[in-house]
């Protein structure tokens, strides 16, 4: 993990916004008007998906993908002007929000401003034509790294946005851009704003392995942590999706969460989420609403910053198209209070300074944040399998305030009934808990 990463990044709440579809107007000004509501939810950061002009040559859909970028140094006129963007940044800062923007430095659109002036910046086939190394991404062409001139152009672009007040960068498919580039970029941007934060879209292990077999570059998560503060949880995401759908045991996912504790830097930060712009909404992925809420609560409770994808508050199962006008329907927001409570709990003292453990996996996920001193801890129960019977918990008998739902939960004879999809209990001093191992973790225990 980058040496100057603050420990507090693991408690951030990040809100992802696709400007085109977030509001009826689809503009910076309309997003600006929504910032007070977003901030009231306990959000710390707004992440704006690419704000730049979108390529039209070989574009997908009616309007093209925001990740097919024409010009890194300008804003999409569909969204407004550069002045409009700066007003959005200033309003966010006034509210105590950070603003992160997307950085897409693996590729550009076919008609980007760099194609004519710098064809040497791109992968070229035998006929000298630029191409993409990921065939299904046929609306873009790949930049070729390393290149001193390209590196200079890209870092100068970052410096431009940093000087305009941008607080952080979410870096698209960061695994396929050399780590040395990101280290240099981080060092230079720090001269403008030393508090800048860096989020990497690290790739899943299948994608990484496939590129390596093909003789292409792909960094592992461990390598990326040298330059980045936060990484995606794509290393465990395929297993998580199957666990949510009931296709693999939940214990398999929880073992991978425990495994992360052993292979990454001590204060590593993996961004936790149940949905983002590239994946199904949780309300479509999970078998039913109750299980969707349980999984959402568990991911928010896990170690690492929590991501809310714009529109998640509505409880919709529909994922907006990247390529067309496909507005979020804000008529109802049944999950806004629920997400707000989860966001606020990220700042509970136990989550800020405690140790995260997953002591039990069946029939409910049970997890805790425990502090070493006599301070109150948190004990979470997440009914991801719709279990309807009493469960055993390692808590003394008594009534425990439920900070997620209000009211209290009774533990009697070492058992409780959970009547909600999830509960997060204020426990007082927790008994000593450990990451009890399951079959997978037992494989790592020495046998004598």
Mean pLDDT of the 118-127 span: 94
Reduced to 3 states (helix: H, G, I; strand: E, B; else coil), residue 292 is helix
Characterize the bridge pairing of strands 378-382 and 365-370.
antiparallel
The percent of residues in the chain predicted with pLDDT above 70, rounded, is 96
- The Cα 196–Cα 274 span in angstroms is 25
d(CA 414, CA 96): 43
**What would the pLDDT profile of 342-394 be if each residue is shown by its tens digit?**
999 999 999 999 999 998 878 899 999 998 876 789 999 999 999 989 999 99
d(CA 71, CA 364): 49
Condensed to tens digits (0 to 9), the pLDDT of residues 191-200 reads 999 999 999 9
Q: At what angle do helices 28-40 and 82-94 cross, to 10 degrees?
A: 10
Q: How many beta carbons lie within 10 A of that of residue 63, not counting itself? A: 18
What value does the mean pLDDT take over residues 119-132? 94
Does residue 143 have a pLDDT over 80?
yes
Copy the structure tokens of residue 314: 């509505």
Rounded Cα gap, residues 129 and 123, in angstroms: 8
Question: Which residues neighbour 187 within 8 Å (Cβ) at sequence distance 6 or greater?
Answer: none
**For residue 444, is pLDDT > 90?**
no
pLDDT band at 328 (very low <50, low <70, confident <90, very high): very high
pTM of the predicted protein model: 0.96
Mean pLDDT of 102-117: 96
Is the alpha carbon torsion for 78, 79, 80, 81 positive or negative?
A: negative
Mean pLDDT over each residue of the chain, to the nearest integer: 94
Per the listing, tokens 């190394």 go with 133
pLDDT at 426 exceeding the cut of 80: yes
| Mean pLDDT score, 142-155 | 97
Q: What is the pLDDT of residue 436?
A: 55
What angle do the packed helices 289-301 and 336-345 form, to 10 degrees? 20
pLDDT in the model for residue 356 = 95
Instruction: Assess whether pLDDT exceeds 60 at residue 439.
Output: no
Helix (H, G, I), strand (E, B) or coil at 70: coil
Can you say whether residue 186 is alpha, beta or left, with left for phi > 0 and alpha for psi between -120 and 50 degrees?
alpha
CB atoms inside a 10 Å sphere around CB 115 = 18
According to DSSP, the residues that pair with 45 across neighbouring strands are: 14, 98
Read off the pLDDT of each residue in 147-152 and give the average, rounded to a whole number: 98
Q: What is the pLDDT of residue 175?
A: 98
Domains of the chain with bracketed CATH: 7-353 (3.20.20.80), 355-440 (2.60.40.1180)
The secondary structure of the chain in percent helix, strand, coil, rounded to multiples of 5, reads: 35, 20, 50
What pLDDT is attached to residue 70? 98
What's the rounded Cα separation, in Å, for the pair 433 and 29? 49
| pLDDT greater than 80 at residue 302 | yes
* pLDDT for residue 2 is more than 50: yes
Q: Which of 230-239, 250-259, 277-286, 421-430 has the lowest mean pLDDT?
A: 421-430
Mean pLDDT over 309-330 rounds to 97
Asked if pLDDT for residue 429 goes beyond 90, the answer is: no
Give the residue among 319, 320, 316, 310 at the shortest CA–CA distance from 334: 316
Residue 448: is its pLDDT beyond 50?
A: no
Residue 44: pLDDT band (50, 70, 90) is very high
pLDDT in tens, 197-232: 999 999 999 999 999 999 999 999 999 999 999 999
Residue 402, Cα to own-chain centre: how many angstroms? 26
């Amino acid at each position: 993990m980058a040496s100057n990463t603050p420990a507090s990044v693991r408690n951030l709440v990040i809100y992802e916004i696709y400007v085109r579809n977030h509001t009826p107007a689809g503009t910076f000004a309309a997003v600006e008007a929504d910032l007070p509501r977003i901030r009231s939810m306990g959000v710390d950061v707004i992440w704006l998906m690419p704000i730049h002009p979108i390529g039209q040559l070989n574009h997908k859909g009616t309007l093209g993908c925001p990740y097919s970028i024409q010009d890194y140094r300008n804003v999409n006129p569909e969204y407004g002007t550069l002045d409009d963007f700066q007003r959005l940044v200033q309003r966010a800062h006034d509210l105590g929000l950070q603003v992160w923007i997307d950085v897409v430095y693996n590729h550009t659109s076919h008609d980007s401003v760099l194609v004519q002036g710098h064809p040497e910046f791109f992968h070229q086939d035998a006929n000298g034509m630029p191409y993409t190394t990921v065939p299904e991404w046929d609306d873009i062409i790949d930049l070729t790294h390393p290149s001193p001139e390209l590196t200079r152009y890209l870092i100068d672009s970052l410096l431009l946005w940093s000087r305009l007040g941008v607080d952080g960068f979410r870096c698209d498919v960061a695994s396929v851009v050399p780590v040395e580039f990101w280290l240099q970029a981080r060092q230079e941007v720090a001269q403008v704003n030393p508090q800048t934060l860096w989020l990497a879209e690290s790739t899943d292990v299948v994608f990484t392995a496939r590129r390596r077999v093909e003789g292409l570059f792909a960094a592992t998560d461990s390598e990326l942590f040298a330059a980045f503060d936060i990484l995606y949880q794509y290393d465990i995401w395929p297993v998580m999706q199957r666990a949510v759908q009931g296709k693999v045991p939940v214990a398999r996912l929880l073992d991978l969460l425990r495994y992360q504790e052993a292979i990454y830097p001590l204060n590593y930060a993996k961004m936790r989420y149940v949905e983002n712009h590239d994946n199904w909404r949780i309300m479509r992925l999970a078998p039913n609403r109750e299980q969707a809420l349980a999984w959402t609560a568990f991911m928010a409770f896990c170690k690492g910053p929590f991501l809310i994808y714009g529109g998640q508050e509505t409880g919709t199962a529909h994922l907006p198209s990247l390529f067309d006008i496909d507005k979020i329907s804000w008529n109802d927001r049944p999950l806004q209070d629920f997400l707000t409570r989860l966001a606020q709990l990220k700042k509970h003292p136990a989550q800020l300074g405690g140790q995260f453990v997953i002591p039990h996996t069946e029939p409910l996920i049970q997890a805790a944040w425990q502090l070493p001193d006599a301070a109150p801890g948190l004990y979470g129960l997440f009914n991801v399998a719709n279990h309807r019977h009493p469960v055993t918990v390692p808590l003394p008998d008594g009534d425990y305030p439920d900070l997620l739902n209000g009211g209290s939960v009774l533990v009697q004879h070492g058992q409780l009934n959970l009547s909600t999809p999830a509960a997060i209990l204020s426990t007082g001093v927790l008994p000593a808990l450990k990451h009890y191992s399951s079959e997978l973790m037992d494989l790592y225990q020495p046998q004598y």
